[in-house]
Amino acid sequence: MTDTNSSTHAANTPANTPSNAPSHVAYQVRDRENQKGVWTRIGSAWPHRDGKGFNIQIEAVPLDGRISLRAYEDRTDQPA
């Protein structure tokens, strides 16, 4: 597959975003009967400059459950 508009594509890649931090995090959620669901981080998403979409980088594709995309929260400043 050839990208006919590579200059637009390059402008929307995560490496070219101002902070390089994702705006959203992707999780696989597996629901369990009478228990909390199991959330596993599987990827991240960065918004396009025009605000009309996202670049999503997925490290794993779940075979069951669902994918939930949540706003990224930096937790490095929270006490352990």
Q: pLDDT band at 77, cuts 50/70/90?
A: low
Give the contacts of 63 (CB within 8 A, at least 6 positions apart).
none
pLDDT digit string (tens) for 1-58? Answer: 444 444 444 444 444 445 689 999 999 999 999 999 999 999 999 999 999 999 999 9
Please say whether the beta carbons of 54 and 48 come within 8 A. Answer: yes
Cα separation, 34 vs 31, whole angstroms: 9
